[in-house]
Amino acid sequence: MLFDVLVAALVAGVAITGWRLARRLRALEERVGEIRSLGRRLDDMRAGLERGLGVTRAHLAAVAAGEAPERAAILRGSPYQDIKPTDAFGLWERTPGLFVLDVRTSGEFANGHIPNAHLVPVDELEDRLGELPPPDTTMLVTCAAGGRSTAACQLLGEKGYVRLLNLSGGMHTWPGPQVREATAPPSAPPAPAGTTVSFRGGPVTEAQVVGAIQDCFDPEIPLNIYDLGLIYAIDIGESAIAVKMTLTSQGCPSARTIPEDVRQKIVALGQPNVQVDVVWDPPWHPSRISPDGKQKLGLA
């Protein structure tokens, strides 16, 4: 009986000791985790300070060379600054080895790019940093309209690049020569009178959107609605496409089906965010029909 009591007491003592040791071990693990987390934060702070010092040194070097960055870029400690198209062109002309980074898609690049530019799409940039020159190299970064190049400059700045020039307005404002490759998609056909087409970047080209719309027909007229002059405006952005159109009359029996057909055909290009608005001002008139359309209808 006494032996059983002693064994039970011993087991209880061992259990209590084990429990206390487990608690201490958990506490130690928590402390170690806190120390590691603090170490990571210190590493991040150290890296941030090093990047900041690198930017400051680059700014001072530019000032010493008589090429002071914009005041706003200095105040915010930015690793990049925006550069006007004319200034960018002048820099490109007098700097034969200037590294030009184009962060658009391969299709956009093929359709027209700055001579000797290097293509690295922005969504691949972080994985392809090894293809870029050293971080202290002056680099002109461009895209279609400036949005993706800004994102690229921010990413590169986080990776230690300190001499970045972001082309304001992108390739839409580039005043210099461009190289168009043989594999480039065909250009969009001329727009009918009163139709405006704006391309501000993105994976879907102007020619693709116009081609999709040319597959849409008014059932009462044997002519596609683009050449018929029903499209007033096409705005192609990096994340959305907007179309403003009209119909031959407010009583058109296809008032619902035609706009939806336009939307679906553009969506099929791979851009799901498509908006088609029908307007009645100004009203459609046969004078809006394109020259090619007039020939097809025997009106030329």
286 and 200 housed in the same domain: yes
Query: From CA 41, how far away is CA 38, in angstroms rounded?
Result: 5
Residue 13 domain-assigned (yes or no): no
Determine the Cα–Cα distance for residues 245 and 260; give it in Å rounded to an integer.
Answer: 12
153 and 221 within one domain: no
How many domains does one find in the chain?
2
- Domain containing residue 222: 196-296
The CATH number for 72's domain is 3.40.250.10
* Residues 152 and 231 grouped into a single domain: no
**What is the rounded end-to-end Cα distance, in angstroms, of the chain?**
119
Of 139, 172, 205, the residue at which a domain comes to its end is: 172
In a domain, 217, yes or no: yes
Whether residue 157 is found in the same domain as residue 86? yes
73 and 139 part of one domain: yes
pLDDT at position 168, please?
Answer: 87
Q: Which amino acid is at 127?
A: D
Please check whether residues 168 and 226 belong to one and the same domain.
Answer: no
Whether residue 244 is found in the same domain as residue 291: yes
Q: What is the per-residue DSSP string for 140-159?
A: EEE-SSSHHHHHHHHHHHHT
The CATH number assigned to the domain holding 264 equals 3.30.300.130
* Inside any domain, residue 134: yes
Q: Clarify whether residues 118 and 76 are in a common domain.
A: yes
pLDDT reported for residue 9: 62
pLDDT digits (tens, 9 = 90+) for 130-186: 999 998 899 999 987 788 898 899 899 888 888 899 998 888 789 999 998 877 666
What is the mean pLDDT, run by run of 10 residues, along the chain of 300 residues? 62 70 78 74 60 53 55 58 92 94 88 94 92 93 86 88 88 89 70 79 86 88 90 92 91 85 92 93 88 81
pLDDT of residue 197: 87
Same domain, 129 and 217: no
The single-letter DSSP state of residue 192 is P
Report d(CA 16, CA 32) in Å as an integer: 24
Look at the pTM and tell me if it is higher than 0.85: no
Does residue 4 fall inside a structural domain? no
According to the model, what pLDDT value does residue 75 have? 46
Inside any domain, residue 151? yes
Q: Is 237 a member of any domain? A: yes
80 and 136, same domain (yes or no): yes
Q: Domain check: are 68 and 110 in the same one?
A: yes
254 within a domain of the structure (yes/no): yes
Question: How far, in Å, CA of 166 to CA of 170, rounded?
Answer: 8
Within this chain, do residues 226 and 159 fall inside the same structural domain, yes or no? no
Sheet holding 231-236, edge to edge: 196-199, 231-236, 241-245, 274-278
Q: Considering the domain boundaries, does residue 91 fall inside one? A: yes
Q: Among all residues, which ones are annotated catalytic?
A: 143
